[in-house]
Chains A and B, each alone.
Chain A
């Protein structure tokens, strides 16, 4: 453990800026995936273990749109729409059949989808890893601030993710649709009895979860290698975020994603070989203190 490096970093403006920015970048991408996961669980009471594959599909959709249009913003939009549509189909044809089933059935179905999607990606895009490359707009030297290097693309990622988080908060908390979602999350049967078309709502929720995962995949595509199976690592981290924040809580996912991002960033200075362990350690501490997660409304 290298605490002297951490103290050195905390007392250095450049290191603080660099590490905080890194933490935010990691955290914001995690939030986009985890928020969809949390939303789906909150409304459908389904744990979508295939959510990491949604992120993978988003990255590949973005790659294809970018190759065709050479426009990164269209690529991100294409990824969001494509995975959103896939989410709707996923709900209509697969998830719908296991509502009320135990978690093992959810796991079985999701794992089958993970394997099938990995193979489909391999068939369509090939087994070789692929790279989108940095769009020309962001191919500029990093900004120097307080002695730190700040990549322009990472600034864009953070701003975009904050904007998406704000939009999602507004949608859930301030619109009629949000009220319906919250009602269905609280008691789906009662919401249906009151005339809410829960069937449509469930499809839309999985679609929205897909849009968020697609956005994350599309936004990350320029700096991450695209390879079949790439969704697995982000899925595990997203579960940690969701569990810490509280299953079903978007605000919880936001806060815990930032906590995990900063844990990775600053924890990497103290224990570079134990950063994954640190994430789990944070999760264990939270679960001991508040077993249902930091922002869960359920009883502990």
Chain B
């Protein structure tokens, strides 16, 4: 056995050593933190859910971002500096999302972060960028508190996705108007049994009651997420015979519910309000989409019904041979804000770009009037197209969407923020 004598380190020498390492690191070791690079590619770290059952979220959103980056690079970049996306799979795990984003900043020398995480991942990323000070654009998290709650907000993080609070106001006001028109008194709800399902349903009912206080609420059903069989839910609806059903099921779960409900003629027996149906990858996947289902718009090329929106969808289909999703436009918009910031400052410095993003208005095919604003007060987007329409069984599936008035959204959102103690 060899000699294993202990070496003692003097405290002062230790402190000196640490100080020296910190200084070297500050100057050269962690350049992303202390200084922006002025040469070489502009690196943007993209963490997304690229595997598992919601891999579509990652693939369709990264596609949206790639379209914007390709256009930027093709036009010459920033004085010849191209954007390089470093895309990594967080597998839908918040701890993995946090680790990946730390690596983007500390190891990969990324200038900024494009977070394509669902809400749980987005909150983990928010804490990383708050600590390290790197510019971050959250694109897909719809949880309002991420930017509405001043305790969670940080000056270097923004959101380019829709918000749950906005959607709830839009849904409640639309559903109440149909309820009055068609005398829909008895309601049921069906939501996936996790935070999103409960929050969305509660917020919807809150605003439905606000606009139409005389509704009666029957059973609230909570099938588990990714449940393959909805027969028990369907049977309960058939037994209870409501006038209207609200559901926030989405994606494959909603598709299964509709396919199985069709077998019972379910959609002829009540009015259905599906907040997440109007996305082509869902509507086109349901092979026999019933006519007359009410849905909030996720992404449809008919709303906003402008030539740029139709052209954007056509270009997406040409490049990726699939239809864009709600997540595609949110990521494309997030990337557009970052690029506009880069152009406006002539720099890839996150701090400088974060300084010009609040209040920025960009031309966008997804804006209700052709523009979208990054609202300064809470660093989130407003004036994007949000509304409700009715399905038809053939393309374009939802030909008309009734837009929700943003004045109404602002008014009720402010009341909600006061209620929550955010303002």
Contact = CB atoms under 8 A, between A and B. Distances in A.
A22 B231 contact: yes
A269 B233 CA distance: 10
Contacts of B236: 268-269, 272
Given A25-B231, A142-B265, A273-B193, A133 B259 contact: yes
Main secondary structure of the interface of A (DSSP, over half): helix
Interface in A125-176: 126-134, 138-139, 141-142, 149, 151-154
A138 B50 CA distance: 36
Given A22-B232, A127-B55, A234-B228, A134 B239 contact: no
A223 B259 contact: yes
B252 interface: yes
Interface string B48-89: 001111011011100000000000000000000000000000
Interface string B224-261: 10111101100110110000000000011101100110
A139 B393 CA distance: 15
B190 to A, nearest CB: 11
Give chain B's interface residue range (CB within 8 Å of chain A).
35 or more
B252 A225 contact: yes
Contacts of B286: 131, 133
A2 B256 CA distance: 27
Interface string A214-245: 00000010111111111001100000000000
Interface in B302-361: 322
Contacts of A131: 255, 259, 285-287
Given A129-B251, A151-B263, A225-B253, A265 B287 contact: no
B410 interface: no
B235 A229 contact: no
Contact of B232 (A138, A220, A229, A275): A275
B393 to A, nearest CB: 12
A148 to B, nearest CB: 9
Contacts of A51: none
Contacts of A223: 256, 259-260, 263
A128 B286 CA distance: 12
Given A149-B265, A223-B260, A228 B288 contact: no
A55 to B, nearest CB: 10
B30 interface: no
Contacts of A203: none
Nearest to A122: B55
A224 B322 CA distance: 21
B264 interface: yes
A128 B260 contact: no
Given A132-B287, A133-B288, A272-B222, A224 B256 contact: yes
B420 to A, nearest CB: 27
Interface string A243-272: 000000000000000000000110011001
A118 B52 CA distance: 8
Interface in B394-417: none
B232 A268 contact: yes
B52 A229 contact: yes
B262 interface: yes
A116 B256 CA distance: 25
B259 A222 contact: yes
A134 B263 contact: yes
B33 interface: no
B281 interface: yes
B51 A122 contact: yes
A228 B222 contact: no
B36 interface: no
Given A127-B59, A129-B252, A139 B288 contact: yes
Interface string A17-32: 0110010011000000
A131 B228 CA distance: 12
B231 to A, nearest CB: 4
A226 B58 CA distance: 18
Interface of B: 50-53, 55-56, 58-60, 193, 221-222, 224, 226-229, 231-232, 235-236, 238-239, 251-253, 255-256, 259-260, 262-265, 281, 285-288, 322
7 contacts: A26-B231, A127-B59, A133-B287, A225-B285, A234-B228, A265-B232, A276-B224
5 shortest interchain CB distances as A-B pairs: A133-B287, A225-B252, A129-B252, A127-B55, A151-B263
Given A127-B56, A134-B263, A225-B285, 17 more contacts: A15-B235, A18-B235, A119-B51, A122-B51, A129-B56, A131-B255, A133-B286, A134-B262, A142-B263, A142-B265, A151-B264, A225-B228, A225-B256, A233-B226, A233-B227, A272-B232, A273-B193
